[in-house]
């Protein structure tokens, strides 16, 4: 059988939308959400990272008692268990699963309105945290973190107590250290970042503290340089940016400073220009966006619209270039954390909007030999 024939054979092996998505004893009907265990405490602005063994690490966030240092692990069976607490309480931080299996947590808001440059690394083998000596070059919260192909992590923008950051820095896991890596064309907070197919990172939109931005920057990991990227047709902050299977980047929603947006834009695979995309059924900002593994659709979920938390979710279908509604969360959530699961066809969303609850989403998957169908980072 030819490779082409094999490929088409794999494509027809699809889990139909009427079937149940199963994994480690968990079953969720495709296109729906199912409520699962509660975390030990409510968490807004927490962060999630998928561990190599398939569990999901949830860290920090804020609740009734302010920022938290605690961490929890969601296992494949649908339950949370406590993990070792971080050395510092934080929310609006980033967490990134490193190629060696550890998890980097960096920055964030602290109690009393402060912002930290501290960073620490979780070792799932020993359930322990180790502080990164010296922390980040700059204190920042609400920044983006992008895992580069060589295993380093790019940190960009964010805000501190009195300023908006225009810098980028790199974490090198071989020496567990941060270093300055360049200056953006504008200070940016509430921006989005996506790793391009060629390894560059597109950093797009956001706010400079006064104006909502339409500009973008591109970080070239090979040369270590930052250059201006294409402009959006509309300024937006609190949006998402997700790399699609063909290498293009889908930018969705956000706020233009006056209104939340239902519009989308798509950057070509070379990130040379943005073109208008389809509209969602409803405007939203501060939402979560996931390219679904072994599926290629992008799930847009939760967030807020005109200050009200949303429970609705939509799927962007790349081959038709359209959005279509899918099952709604049982609880409206803004500021939630989430991750795809290692089990085929399951995705976790937890916390947000003062909630300790979690939900799993079931989605159809396509069996394929193509390694590019693996999860994408947005």
pLDDT tens per residue, the chain (378 residues)? 343 333 333 233 233 333 333 444 688 999 999 999 999 999 999 999 999 999 999 999 999 999 999 999 999 788 999 999 999 999 999 999 999 999 999 999 998 889 999 999 999 999 999 999 999 999 999 999 999 999 999 999 999 988 999 999 999 999 999 999 999 999 999 999 999 999 999 999 999 999 999 999 999 999 999 999 999 999 999 999 999 999 999 999 999 999 999 999 999 999 999 999 999 999 999 999 999 999 989 999 999 999 999 999 999 999 999 999 999 999 999 999 999 998 779 999 999 999 999 999 999 987 655 544 444 444
Strands 47-50, 56-59: parallel, antiparallel or unpaired by DSSP?
Answer: antiparallel
Q: How many residues does the chain have?
A: 378
Tokens read off for 151: 């295993």
Cα-based angle 377, 140, 196 (whole degrees, multiple of 5): 25
pTM of the predicted model, to two decimals? 0.90
Backbone angles phi, psi at 377, to 5 degrees: -105, 130
Tokens read off for 170: 């790199």
Tokens read off for 96: 């990134």
Close Cβ partners of 285 (under 8 Å, ≥ 6 residues apart): 236, 237, 238, 239, 253, 254, 255, 260, 261, 303, 304, 305
Helix (H, G, I), strand (E, B) or coil at 5: helix
Tell which residue, 74, 182, 185, has the closest CA to residue 124. 74
pLDDT for the residue 105: 98
Helices (H), the chain: 3-12
Tell which residue, 33, 12, 29, has the closest CA to residue 20. 29
Distance CA 108, CA 158 (A): 9
Close Cβ partners of 229 (under 8 Å, ≥ 6 residues apart): 202, 203, 204, 215, 216, 217, 218, 271
User: First CA to last CA across the chain, in angstroms?
Assistant: 36
**Residue 24: C-alpha distances to residues 17, 66, 138, 294, 322 (Å):** 19, 34, 41, 18, 33
Strands 66-67, 47-50: parallel, antiparallel or unpaired by DSSP?
Answer: unpaired
**Residue 91: C-alpha distances to residues 113, 339, 341 (Å):** 11, 17, 23
pLDDT for the residue 25: 61
Sheet holding 192-195, edge to edge: 192-195, 201-204, 216-220, 225-228
Domains of the chain: 15-373 (2.120.10.80)
Beta bridge partners, 281, equal none
pLDDT for the residue 42: 98
**Residue 166: C-alpha distances to residues 69, 94, 156, 212, 213 (Å):** 27, 17, 8, 14, 13
Q: Are 139 and 117 in contact (CB under 8 A)?
A: yes
Q: Are 304 and 254 in contact (CB under 8 A)?
A: no
């Amino acid at each position: 059988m030819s490779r082409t024939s094999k490929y088409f054979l794999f494509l027809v092996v699809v889990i139909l939308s009427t079937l149940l998505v199963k994994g480690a004893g968990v079953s969720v009907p495709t296109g729906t959400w199912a409520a699962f265990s509660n975390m030990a405490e409510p968490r807004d602005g927490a962060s999630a990272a998928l561990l190599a063994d398939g569990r999901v690490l949830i860290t920090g966030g804020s609740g009734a008692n302010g920022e938290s240092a605690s961490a929890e692990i969601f296992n494949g069976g649908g339950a949370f268990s406590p993990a070792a607490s971080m050395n510092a309480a934080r929310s609006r931080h980033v967490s990134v699963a490193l190629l060696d299996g550890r998890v980097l947590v960096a920055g964030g808001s602290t109690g009393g309105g402060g912002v930290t440059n501290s960073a620490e690394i979780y070792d799932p083998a020993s359930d322990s945290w180790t502080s990164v000596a010296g922390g980040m070059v700059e204190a920042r919260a609400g920044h983006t973190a992008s895992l580069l192909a060589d295993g380093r992590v790019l940190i960009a923008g964010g805000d501190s107590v009195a300023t908006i950051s225009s810098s980028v820095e790199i974490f090198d896991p071989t020496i567990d250290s941060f270093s300055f890596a360049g200056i953006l064309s504008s200070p940016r907070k509430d921006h989005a970042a996506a790793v391009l197919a060629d390894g560059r990172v597109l950093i797009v939109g956001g706010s400079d503290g006064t104006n909502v931005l339409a500009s973008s920057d591109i970080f070239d990991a090979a040369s270590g340089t930052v250059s201006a990227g294409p402009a959006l047709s509309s300024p937006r902050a609190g949006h998402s940016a997700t790399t699609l299977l063909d290498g293009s980047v889908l930018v969705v929603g956000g706020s233009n400073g006056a209104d939340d947006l239902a519009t989308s834009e798509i950057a070509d695979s070379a990130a040379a220009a943005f073109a208008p995309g389809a509209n969602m059924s409803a405007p939203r900002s501060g939402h979560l966006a996931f390219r679904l593994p072994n599926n290629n659709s992008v799930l847009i979920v939760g967030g807020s619209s005109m200050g009200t938390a949303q429970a609705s979710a939509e799927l962007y279908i790349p081959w038709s270039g359209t959005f279509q509604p899918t099952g709604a969360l049982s609880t409206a959530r803004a500021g939630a954390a989430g991750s795809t699961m290692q089990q085929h066809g399951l995705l976790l969303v937890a916390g947000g909007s003062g909630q300790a609850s979690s939900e799993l989403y079931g989605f159809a998957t396509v069996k394929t030999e193509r390694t590019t169908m693996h999860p994408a980072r947005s």
